[in-house]
Amino acid sequence: MQSEGAAAVPSATVVPCRRLIPVVLAGGSGTRLWPMSREHYPKQLIDVIGCDTLLQATVRRMDGFPEGWDVADAPLVVCGAEHGFIIDEQLRASGVTPHLIVEPARRDTAPALTLAAVLASQHGSDAILVVMPADHAIADVKALQRAIELAARYAQQGAIATLGVPPTRPDTGFGYVRIGEPLGDGAHRIERFVEKPPAELAVQYVADGAYWWNSGIFVMRATVWLDALRKMRPEMHAACLAAVAEGAAHGERFDPAASAFERAPADSIDYAVMERLGGPDAPCAGIVVPLQAGWSDLGSWDAVWDALSKDCDGNVARGRVVLEGATSTFVHAESRLVACVGTTDVVVVETPDAVLVADRANVQRVKGLVARIKAEHAPEAETHRKVRRPWGFYDSIDHGDRFQVKRIVVAPGARLSLQMHHHRAEHWVVVRGTAFVTRGDEEFLLSENESTFIPLGVRHRLANPGKVPLEIIEVQSGAYLGEDDIVRFEDNYGRCPSHSASS
């Protein structure tokens, strides 16, 4: 049924499209949840508030959508090349076969959405896109779906809708939307977008009542977005169209042409289009729909603490944690026992290679802390001790002068690249499964408790021909043990032979 407010939106010809395509933007590399979230394994890939990762929870939010709408089974997931295989692996483990759009370069959210819109509008279709960041939390999914359904009705008529969250407190970590004319069903026209305010202005916004948090969730027809972008940012529109036209599909994965996509200016959805929808010359209406569903962008450890259930003293404990006389304390332990005595308003996050201890009032400063760690070229800013690869993972157990010890796990049927090293030799000991080893001109099998030696400068490859994970202990020795000492000759996963970031 068409709402009274929806009829009030001046728009292009109404197209009663009922097709909804979820578009998940998963290209972020946030550092505010360090040390769990890191550049090469950002927060959308971690299980920061539940058993599912934030990505897995996001793609499930359209399950059980109200009847009468045709929701695509496979979401369009836009991500970077460094995270594509992990995203595909996580979603398939959840029973979802995604269509991946793998960005060859980081260009922010507006070009990412445009790639999805171009692909969704091919073959004459004009589906409604439900655009969601992959790293947010929603407590009430049904309330989210009701808000999306209202936004989709406006999108049917040519508007671009965003979901705004009526604020519950002054917050300097969010952008705001100033709401305009009410449309009779809870929605409003967008008057303008406002950047993250200083504390005193955030207090005024909440008292005013006309400013809502910007959730970053958008709903629009694919062709409406493309038309608006063509008029407002023609150079971005042209670059993204060329990137798709010159790109290539590989099964469920689409790779835009790098040379074309890199010509697109980097910009957000808000800056590129949404902030311009409040004016009289806007190519379409901008609508904000209220979202009251326990939304959080999880932009700090304090926000994570706020989103989780607490004990009677206001504490949140995950993992092996013992608290004695603690109040309003957040503790996350991954690899060992963490005990806190008499702590108040403290965050403790323990991972195998780094520990964060912070006052909850200062968790926004974690981003600056990570910048300092990165400036010192410390690996903890970018990678975890356990590093995931398309073939499995490795865990750096120990290291010292001229040696390093790794635990390597290779998935059934997978194999590492054919490679060699200029500066190190390697000893392999099989502790589980069967290894198929290529060493120079030799090929042979190794069973449990058997070992081999890979001399410096010799081509070699490790593969798992079995049906159970292959686990080996690798001892490296040499003058230089960095991951960039890899010369790759062949690879099953499409990585460039000169690429040297992993095995």
- Kindly tell me if the per-residue pLDDT of 292 is higher than 90: yes
**What confidence score (pLDDT) does residue 275 get?**
86
Average the pLDDT over each of 26-35, 164-173, 488-497 and give the range with the smallest value: 488-497
Could you tell me the two tokens for 316?
Answer: 């949140």
Q: Which residue is listed with tokens 């999914």?
A: 141
- Predicted confidence at residue 280, as pLDDT, reads 72
Min mean pLDDT across 147-151, 282-286, 341-345 is at: 282-286
Q: How confident is the model at residue 337 (pLDDT cuts 50, 70, 90)?
A: very high
Q: Can you give the pLDDT at residue 138?
A: 96
Helix/strand/coil for 1 = coil
CB atoms within 10 A of CB 336: 11
Assess if residue 495 is contained within a domain: no
For residue 499, tell me if it sits in a domain. Answer: no
58 and 87 assigned to the same domain: yes
b/e per residue, 1-27, with b = 16+ CB within 10 A?
Answer: eebebbebbebeeeeebebbbbbbbbb
444 within some domain = yes
Q: Is the pLDDT of residue 500 over 50?
A: no
Q: Above 90 in pLDDT, residue 279?
A: no
Task: Judge whether residue 2 has pLDDT over 60.
Answer: no
Whether residue 407 sits in one domain with residue 363: no
SS3 197: coil
Residues 288, 151 share a domain:
yes
pLDDT at position 196: 85
Quick one: pLDDT at residue 502? 47
Give the pLDDT score at 172. 84
User: For 464-487, what is the mean pLDDT?
Assistant: 94
Which token pair is 243? 């990137």
483, 501 Cβ separation under 8 angstroms: yes
pLDDT category, 281, cuts 50, 70, 90? Answer: confident
30 versus 401: the higher-pLDDT residue is 401
With a cut of 80, say whether residue 441 has pLDDT above it: yes
**What is the domain extent for residue 72?**
11-296
User: Residue 186 has what DSSP assignment?
Assistant: S
Residues in the chain: 503
Q: Do 151 and 68 share a structural domain?
A: yes
Q: Region 281-287: what's the mean pLDDT?
A: 87
Judgement on whether residues 479 and 356 belong to the same structural domain of the protein = no
Q: Which residue, chain included where needed, has tokens 């927060």?
A: 43
Q: How far apart are CA 175 and CA 370, in angstroms?
A: 23
Pairing between β-strand 338-341 and β-strand 321-324 as defined by DSSP bridges: parallel
Give the end of a domain, one of 375, 401, 431: 375
Enter the tokens of residue 80.
């970077």
Specify whether the CB–CB gap between 308 and 49 falls below 8 A. yes
Cβ-based neighbours of 387, under 8 Å, separated by 6 or more: 40, 393, 394, 395, 396, 502
Instruction: Give the HSE-up count for residue 36: Cα atoms under 13 Å, Cβ half-sphere.
Output: 27
Structure tokens at 366: 């974690």
More confident position, 369 or 10: 369
Q: What percent of the chain has pLDDT over 90?
A: 82
Residue 503 lies in a domain: no
Count helices and strands (H / E) in the chain: 12, 31
How far, in Å, CA of 142 to CA of 138, rounded? 10
Q: How far apart are CA 346 and CA 366, in angstroms?
A: 13
CA 249 to chain centre: 22
Residue 323 has a pLDDT of 98
Token pair of 47 as six digits: 């299980």
Q: Are 219 and 109 in a shared domain?
A: yes
Q: What is the reported pLDDT for 209?
A: 92
User: For residue 497, is pLDDT > 80?
Assistant: no
pLDDT score at 496: 58
Contact 236/264 with Cβ under 8 angstroms?
A: yes
Helices (H), 121-177: 141-156
Structural tokens at position 180: 């305009």
Interval 201-252: pLDDT, tens: 999 999 999 999 999 999 999 999 999 999 999 999 999 999 999 999 999 9
Rounded CA-CA distance 455/299 in Å is 47
Q: Are residues 359 and 395 in the same domain?
A: no
First-to-final CA distance of the chain: 56
Structural domain tally of the chain? 3
Strand 176-182 and strand 160-165: pairing?
unpaired
pLDDT of 5 > 70? The answer is no
* Whether 45 and 179 share a structural domain: yes
Average pLDDT over residues 23-36: 90
Same domain, 200 and 92: yes
Distance CA 36, CA 277 (A): 37
Q: How confident is the model at residue 8 (pLDDT cuts 50, 70, 90)?
A: very low
Rg (alpha carbons) of the chain, rounded to whole number: 25
Domain co-membership, 70 together with 28: yes
- Is 169 part of a structural domain of the chain? yes
Per-residue pLDDT at 282: 80
CATH code (residue 428): 2.60.120.10
- Taking only the tens place, the pLDDT of each residue in 91-135 is 999 999 889 999 999 999 999 999 999 999 987 778 999 999 999
What is the reported pLDDT for 86?
A: 93
CATH number, domain at 228? 3.90.550.10
Distance set, CA 297 to CA 86, 294, 361 (Å): 22, 10, 17
Mean residue pLDDT of the chain comes to 92
User: Is 24 within the bounds of a domain?
Assistant: yes
